Amino acid sequence: MATTPETYIKPKPEAEGGATAPAAKTEAAPGIERHDVKAVNAKDERTLYAERIAIHPKRARGLFRNLKWLVMGLTLGFYYLMPWVRWDRGPALPDQMFLIDFANQRLFFGPLEIWAQEFYYITGLLVLGALLMFLVTALAGRVWCGYSCPQTVWTDLFIAVERFIQGDRNARLRLQKAPWTFDKIWKISATHAIWLLISLLTGGALIFYFRDAPTLAQELFTGTAPYIAYVFLGVFTASTYLLGGLAREQVCIYMCPWPRIQGAMFDDHSMLVSYRGYRGEPRGPHKKNESWEGRGDCVDCKQCVVVCPMGIDIRDGAQLECIQCALCIDACNEIMDKLGRPRNLIAYDTFHNLKAAETGGSAPVQYIRARTILYSALLVAVLAVMTYGWMNRSELQLNVLRDRNPVFVRLSDGGIRNGYTVKILNKRHDTRSFKFSVEGLPADISAPKIDVVGFKENDPTIKVVPDNLRALRVYLSLSKADVAKLKSEATDLTFVATDLGDNSQTRRRTNFRSPEN
Amino acid sequence: MADNKRVDEVTGVETTGHVWDDDLEELNKPLPKWWLWVMYVSIIWSIGYWILYPAWPLASDYTKGMLGYSQRAVVAEQVAAGKAAQAKFVDAIQKAELSSIPDNPELLSFAIAGGNAAFKENCAPCHGRGAQGFKGYPNLNDDDWIWGGDLAAIKQTITHGIRNADEDSRQSDMPKFGKEELLEKAQINDAAEYVLSLSGSGSDAAAAERGKEVFAENCAACHGEDGKGNPELGAPNLTDSIWLYGGTKQDVVTSINTGRGGVMPAWNTRLSEATIKELAVYVHSLGGGQ
């Protein structure tokens, strides 16, 4: 090998000491490499059909890179390990902390147990998630995209694997151009093999959320897992490999709707990853010992472009492709440190402040504004509703559906009968017995006759087995004399189911229909 | 037209020419090539689909496809599978003693569900979807039964019907007292008043008193001395609150004049024994079964 990577990255100056002009093609400033690279969405690259331009992100070092490693560690750690966390719920119930049990239409998360008909809790969580994303976007732009979106996290992981095997950007570029030697074949296939392995683990971890993980893992290896488990394992393995390994930034640019929606979320006061043009321009190569007066701090080294996983140039301004991962901030700060210039030529900033800075002023960040107040208020409201709903969630659900056809039945003695379908949902894990009663009728009316179809009149004790729903036909009859006392065609009343075990009562309002008096 | 397209200054990209809210424009960005390839692959996929599956309509037929797939066949299969799954219960209901079905919770719920479906298909046109009945078509939810309201009686009525050609159909023939001039108009009026007074809704006590005699001579034979009717003869109870043909004086007078005499088909010619049993159980479960 004629050149080692080190000499390629940092060509040694020809002579020591004295003002050396930066080699125009390879150096932006003495000791600062200049990259021959173009933004993938640069003006003159545009045609009717866009060829995909390969992006080889360089490794960045700094605060935001470390933050991204941390988020990656936490999110992937949670994702892969969660199905293995156990939670004792006693016999006959799964002991997996987080389990989506389709067979029994139940979702378990620690002490929580959500039934299929309570899916609104999940809907509520999704609404909360969306509102939280709105708020964060209004405050600091695409934080979700830049740090915690699975697409970003897995792509980051896959790039890290690529870098580990094939080397950093320059080495990868060389490898790409190199002939198919054993070394290249080995490195490329090892990269893809590890990608596939990660994808397989990812797909595997996903299906563990739907079935007891240790059991399913064993079944998977012995070939006895349900057919559908293998199908989803295959689907998620393929999609992880395809989206994270191969498609990468194309997903964000062309497939994901969220970048489009976010345009409506942030405004002039949102903290966005921005190039401070007022400080950076006019940009250009900087000679050693040259004065920084009358020129910008940007030495046009394009470090910000090469570290960008989206392959764009942040200096072109805010753009759809930018996922706001802030790696360009790290890259630029490293250069500014080397040049001895102040950091944060690229930084989180607001349009508002950037505009003010152009004329030498500055504008403080307005975190509290109509948009953030609205998002926060909605967030709090939804959270309150959900908390209220959860606190008042009962382990017994009583639904009463009054017959509409016929609305009421006239009996031969002149009395009136209403029919109801009553559903009792027992969410407890033991059998419960109930008796029905009715309250809320006018005081001068004697209690209606209650007939539960299929039960004896003298002992209408209704048993509901654990975790089950029982539907019953119930008839309420009022005598002719009582019907005559009713004031309206629809009289409110309340069904009461009394648990014979602990005497707890569950109520449900309905009404009794009768002909006009 | 191309020269009309505006080029956005910031990006140097042509716009589509669409403008919203004064200044919001859409860039005419190039499509990624892989997207184009996805479309080509979709086209190839669809051609494969045409070859394998039914696709093109022809004048009186359609291309069947090599796999011979047909949604109709799938439905037929599912229906057959459903029938096969039901066969066990249908068979059990067929064999079971009618009166024993309510004691078997599994059979009972199957019979009620099956009876409900059969009712909607066959009985609802006259009796209504909720079996609530109409004038002349009895409400099956209540506790008043002209021909008896226990399981066996209900089944008998469904099987053979009322006043039809079936030999075993329910037969009763109330004379057309007015039309055939068996009674005077005044007598009919008095009888109607008397009948109404039996359920406490008459308005002319003197006429009712006179009608008592008319009733005893002409009506009591079937409806009973006390007017409580007789399910054996299909003579309705005239003392309760339920009136098949209406409980106004006009309605009662018309009933005496014409004798009414509604009919119901015999269902043994159209429905299986098991279905009729299911129907009987269903009707019995509506709240008025005896």
The contacts of residue A421 (CB under 8 Å, 6+ apart) are A400, A401, A403, A471, A472, A473, A474
In a domain, B81, yes or no: yes
Cβ of A104: how many Cβ atoms within 10 Å?
Answer: 13
Residue A467 has pLDDT above 80, yes or no: no
What residues of A are in contact with residue B12 (Cβ under 8 Å)? Answer: 43-44, 46
Residue B18 has pLDDT above 90, yes or no: no
What was the pLDDT predicted at B220?
92
Residue B274 has pLDDT above 90, yes or no: yes
Residue A345 has pLDDT above 80, yes or no: yes
What residues of B are in contact with residue A419 (Cβ under 8 Å)? Answer: 141, 287
What was the pLDDT predicted at A329?
95
Q: Which residues of chain B have a Cβ shorter than 8 Å from any chain A Cβ?
A: 10-13, 29-36, 102, 105, 108, 128-132, 139, 141-144, 199, 237, 240-242, 285, 287-288
Pair B34, B44: CB distance under 8 Å? no
For residues A508 and B200, the model is more confident at A508
Helix (H, G, I), strand (E, B) or coil at B260: coil
Which of A38, A41, A46 has the highest number of chain B CBs within 10 A, making it the mutation to test binding with B?
A: A46
What residues of A are in contact with residue B287 (Cβ under 8 Å)? Answer: 409, 417, 419, 451, 453, 475
Backbone torsions φ then ψ of A410, nearest 5 degrees = -85, 130
- Which whole number is the average pLDDT over B149-167? 93
| Percent of chain B whose predicted confidence (pLDDT) is above 70 | 98
Q: Which of A454, A434, A443 is nearest to A504 (CA)?
A: A434
Residue A453 has pLDDT above 50, yes or no: yes
Domain identity same for B275 and B239 = no
What was the pLDDT predicted at B243?
92
Pair A438, A493: CB distance under 8 Å? yes
Domain identity same for B112 and B251 = no
Q: Looking at domain A396-513, what is its CATH homologous superfamily?
A: Immunoglobulins (2.60.40.10)
What was the pLDDT predicted at A348?
93
Q: CA of B4 to nearest chain A CA: how many angstroms apart?
A: 17
Residue B2 has pLDDT above 60, yes or no: no
Q: How confident is the model at residue A418 (pLDDT cuts 50, 70, 90)?
A: very high
What was the pLDDT predicted at A13?
42
Residue A6 has pLDDT above 50, yes or no: no
Of A305-314, A334-343, A423-432, A476-485, which range is least confident? A423-432
Helix (H, G, I), strand (E, B) or coil at A473: strand
pLDDT, tens digit (0-9, with 9 covering 90-100), for B69-93: 999 999 999 999 999 999 999 999 9
Domain that holds residue B242: 173-258
State how far the alpha carbon of B268 is from the alpha carbons of A151, B125, B272, B277, in Å: 67, 18, 7, 11
Q: Which of A44, A49, A411 sits opposite B142 (nearest CB)?
A: A411
Number of domains in chain B: 2
For residues B50 and A115, the model is more confident at B50
In a domain, B105, yes or no: yes
- Which whole number is the average pLDDT over A252-264? 88
- Which whole number is the average pLDDT over A52-75? 93
The span from the CA of B146 to the CA of A31, in Å, is 108
pLDDT, tens digit (0-9, with 9 covering 90-100), for A74-111: 999 999 999 999 988 877 788 899 999 888 888 998 88
Helix (H, G, I), strand (E, B) or coil at B7: strand
Residue B271 has pLDDT above 90, yes or no: yes
The span from the CA of A211 to the CA of A216, in Å, is 6
Give DSSP secondary structure letters for B38-51: HHHHHHHHHHHHHH
CB contact under 8 A, B132 and A51: no
Q: CA of A473 to nearest chain B CA: how many angstroms apart?
A: 9
- Which whole number is the average pLDDT over A138-147? 92
What was the pLDDT predicted at A12?
40
In a domain, B224, yes or no: yes
Q: Which residue of A has its CA nearest to B142?
A: A411
**What rounded mean pLDDT belongs to chain A?**
86
Q: CA of A371 to nearest chain B CA: how many angstroms apart?
A: 20
Whole-prediction pTM: 0.71
Q: Which residue of B has its CA nearest to A44?
A: B12
In a domain, B9, yes or no: no
Domain identity same for B151 and B182 = no
Q: How confident is the model at residue A9 (pLDDT cuts 50, 70, 90)?
A: very low
pLDDT, tens digit (0-9, with 9 covering 90-100), for A212-234: 899 999 998 898 888 999 999 99
What residues of A are in contact with residue B20 (Cβ under 8 Å)? Answer: none
What was the pLDDT predicted at B26?
82
Cα angle A271-A272-A273, degrees, rounded to a multiple of 5: 130
Give the per-residue SS3 of A238-302: HHHHHHHHHHCHHHHHHHCCHHHHHCCCCCCCCCEEEECHHHHCCCCCCCCCCCCCCCCCCCCCC
Residue B204 has pLDDT above 90, yes or no: no
In a domain, B122, yes or no: yes
What was the pLDDT predicted at A17?
43
What was the pLDDT predicted at A14?
44
Q: Which of B290, B286, B289 is nearest to B132 (CA)?
A: B286
What was the pLDDT predicted at A7?
33
Residue A73 has pLDDT above 90, yes or no: yes
In a domain, B242, yes or no: yes
Domain CATH code at residue B130: 1.10.760.10
Residue A8 has pLDDT above 70, yes or no: no
Domain identity same for B112 and B231 = no
Residue A26 has pLDDT above 80, yes or no: no
Pair B229, B241: CB distance under 8 Å? no
What was the pLDDT predicted at B5?
67
What was the pLDDT predicted at A146?
92
- Which whole number is the average pLDDT over B145-149? 92
Q: How confident is the model at residue A145 (pLDDT cuts 50, 70, 90)?
A: very high
Q: How confident is the model at residue B215 (pLDDT cuts 50, 70, 90)?
A: very high
What was the pLDDT predicted at A330?
94
Q: Which of B11, B32, B287 sits opposite A419 (nearest CB)?
A: B287
* Distance of alpha carbon A226 from the chain centroid: 28
Q: Which of B33, B199, B241 sits opposite A51 (nearest CB)?
A: B33
Domain identity same for B271 and B220 = no
Give me the total of CB pairs closer than 8 Å, taking one residue from chain A and one from chain B: 85
What residues of A are in contact with residue B124 (Cβ under 8 Å)? Answer: none
Domain boundaries, chain A: 65-132+150-262, 396-513
What was the pLDDT predicted at A46?
57
State how far the alpha carbon of B266 is from the alpha carbons of A464, B111, B156, B169, in Å: 41, 20, 9, 7
- Which whole number is the average pLDDT over A349-370? 88
Domain identity same for B87 and B206 = no
What was the pLDDT predicted at A47?
66
Cα angle B206-B207-B208, degrees, rounded to a multiple of 5: 90
The CB-based long-range contact list for A296-299 (8 Å cut-off, 24+ gap) reads A297/A336, A297/A339, A297/A341, A297/A342, A297/A345, A298/A345, A299/A28, A299/A29, A299/A32, A299/A335, A299/A339
pLDDT, tens digit (0-9, with 9 covering 90-100), for A147-181: 999 999 999 999 999 999 999 999 999 998 999 99
Q: Which of B30, B129, B142 sits opposite A412 (nearest CB)?
A: B142
Domain identity same for B144 and B198 = no
CB contact under 8 A, B142 and A409: yes
